[in-house]
Amino acid sequence: EAAEVIERVAKVLGKGVKELCARGGGIERAIVMECLHRYAQQSQAEIGRRMGGVDYTWVSRMRGELRRMMQGSEGVRKLFEKVEAAILTHE
C-alpha cells in the first residue's frame, strides 16, 4: 500500500511523511516517488497527486534524475538500496 511505502521511506530517511510529500525538489522526494512506482504500483499521475499535487511530468523528471544520480553517486545508490531493503523486508 502507498501509505505504508511512504512511512517506511520516511523512517529510513529520518524525515516526516508530510515533509516528504510536500511540494519541492530533492533526492529524498525522488526516492519516495520511485518507491511508490515500484512497490505500490502507483501511476505517475497518482504519485503526483500524493506528492502535493505535482504534474505527472514532474514525477517523471524526478524519477529520471534519481536514476542518473544513482549511476553517478555510490552514496545515492546505497541510500536507495537501504530504503528498498526496508520496504522489501517490511521493516
pLDDT of residue 26: 86
pLDDT of residue 30: 96
pLDDT in tens, 11-56: 999 999 998 988 776 899 999 999 999 999 999 999 999 999 999 9
d(CA 9, CA 16): 9
pLDDT confidence of residue 91: 63
- DSSP assignments along 32-90, one per residue: HHHHHHHHS---HHHHHHHTTS--HHHHHHHHHHHHHHHHH-HHHHHHHHHHHHHHHTT
pLDDT for position 83:
96
Which pLDDT does position 70 carry in this prediction?
96
**pLDDT for position 25:** 67
What is the reported pLDDT for 58?
94
CA nearest to 51, candidates 30, 77, 70: 30
Looking at the predicted structure, is the pLDDT value of residue 10 above 70? yes
